[in-house]
Structure 1
């Protein structure tokens, strides 16, 4: 399907997230441990925030992450305290830059691992539900970008959990009317550069994997000789499709049907359920 990573904390270079961990995102692009398939080579993308603009930087490519020399070069020089990175395994749509995650609208980023089942059948009805002012901004052909613009239509910039719940509810309602079972599968991440919202949900109740790191201060006390932990700030929060390493106790699974909200190092887990919405 795909793999993604969201980071918030003190600024780090991108290679600290994408290359250096034992099971880094670039490593997962060839050898995913928990994905539907081990290889995610249909492009990648990374979005980051800095002090120059509230609009995040965005770099996307159709090259496999493991072989893109530009990504390796840039990652050693870009520093950020809020990052979303994604490696893609297409579920049928074209391998092109506009289909690579994360997607950007203004100061917002969005990434998805999963699928809208029966999307070819549901696509017209779902896209017709997008706000007419937003519709022309859709650049690609993926179900993920459609989900993002539905969430924007339902107020993502004001209340992300409610907007994602409404978007998922609409998809499930349209799927029911078209005879498509279990339409939504996935994990989602979105941020405005200040707060991070991540979601784990599927219509079937068997979502793709999602993990968050244990409190860094606790891990530092548990592993006082681990140099990696001493390089992380106490407010570091990393949410990932699969753990970046095998350090015992470092990773906690995000529960099924849950929204995780992170701000200034504080996190909150709240139940997530779709809200019935009709087109």
Structure 2
């Protein structure tokens, strides 16, 4: 499992989002309050941010625990941004992919994170390999479930799907192939945040003048935090937050008629 967070709003130091709150992402790396699976997120971390006028995000990722990186503490003290995505990682399986396996994953203007796990990985995901062109499959920078999820999302984005459709359809693909999977996905292009709640917690806080935060769990006890219902896709911009239900493929299977 993992914990992740995305922010859109007025420009702030990264540390105000990731370090200073009493239950910040830093603290969630060893003491998450609402994490249902796993206990410590020490298998890597990363932060991506946008700095105007450059439309492409910068990233800082490492393979070790966030609390052990003194360079990160310096970075978030001085770097400011109005659009951020960050995550701390608890690996599904042990591997040697190092920081390449740490979110946020990136392509062009997009940043992405996956909080969850693909049940039965990698065998259960094998039927979905054919959805990717060989060159995209060979271009994977990590051999993890999250990297493969990102590849399928990115393929849809490149095909012209809007972010909510790309995330929602990818979630339904995996839910059909591996029904016990947990698929909380988080995506931003610096202007919008799109996320899914599927199998674990997701919260958001939106307030004019303070921006919008979407996170695995609240980083403080502000009463403005609201929990996103399971099986939901969230779309947030500086104008507000929209929630829409995600249909579970299992619910669409026709039942035998009564006899």
2:201 corresponds to: 209
Structure 2 residue ranges without an equivalent (≥5): 251-259
2:74 corresponds to: 73
SS in 2 for 1:71: helix
User: How far has the Cα of 1:174 moved from its partner?
Assistant: 3.5
Contact 2:50–2:190 (Cα < 8 Å) also in 1? yes
2:173 corresponds to: 170
Residue 60 of structure 1 pairs with residue 61 of structure 2: yes
Superposed CA RMSD: 1.9
User: How far has the Cα of 1:197 moved from its partner?
Assistant: 0.4
Question: CA–CA distance in 1 between the matches of 2:141 and 2:131?
Answer: 16
User: How far has the Cα of 1:42 moved from its partner?
Assistant: 0.7
State the Cα deviation string for residues 59-94 of structure 1 (Å, max 9, x = none): 110120111111111111211111110000111142
Contact 1:43–1:61 (Cα < 8 Å) also in 2? yes
TM-score, normalization by structure 2: 0.88
Residue 244 of structure 1 pairs with residue 235 of structure 2: no
TM-score, normalization by structure 1: 0.82
Contact 1:168–1:274 (Cα < 8 Å) also in 2? no
1:114 corresponds to: 116
SS in 1 for 2:92: coil
User: How far has the Cα of 1:22 moved from its partner?
Assistant: 0.6
Question: CA–CA distance in 2 between the matches of 1:186 and 1:123?
Answer: 13
Contact 1:2–1:40 (Cα < 8 Å) also in 2? yes
SS in 1 for 2:174: helix
Contact 1:9–1:265 (Cα < 8 Å) also in 2? no
Question: CA–CA distance in 2 between the matches of 1:97 and 1:107?
Answer: 20
1:266 corresponds to: 240
Contact 1:6–1:239 (Cα < 8 Å) also in 2? yes
Question: CA–CA distance in 2 between the matches of 1:122 and 1:79?
Answer: 41
Contact 2:212–2:238 (Cα < 8 Å) also in 1? no
State the Cα deviation string for residues 230-261 of structure 1 (Å, max 9, x = none): xxx24x101111111123x2311011111111
Equivalent of 1:148 in 147, 150, 158: 150
Question: CA–CA distance in 2 between the matches of 1:72 and 1:144?
Answer: 26
Question: CA–CA distance in 2 between the matches of 1:188 and 1:45?
Answer: 15
**Relative to 1, partners in 2 of residues 1:66 and 1:265: Cα closer, same or farther, differing over 3 Å?**
farther
The equivalences for 1:169-208 within 5 A come to: 169-175=172-178, 182-201=179-198, 207-208=199-200
Q: Which runs of 4+ in 1 moved over 6 A?
A: none
State the Cα deviation string for residues 197-238 of structure 1 (Å, max 9, x = none): 01102xxxxx2111111x435xxxxxxxxxxxxxxx24x101
2:256 corresponds to: none
Structure 1 residue ranges without an equivalent (≥5): 176-181, 202-206, 218-232
Aligned residues between the structures: 247
SS in 2 for 1:30: coil
**Relative to 1, partners in 2 of residues 1:31 and 1:63: Cα closer, same or farther, differing over 3 Å?**
same
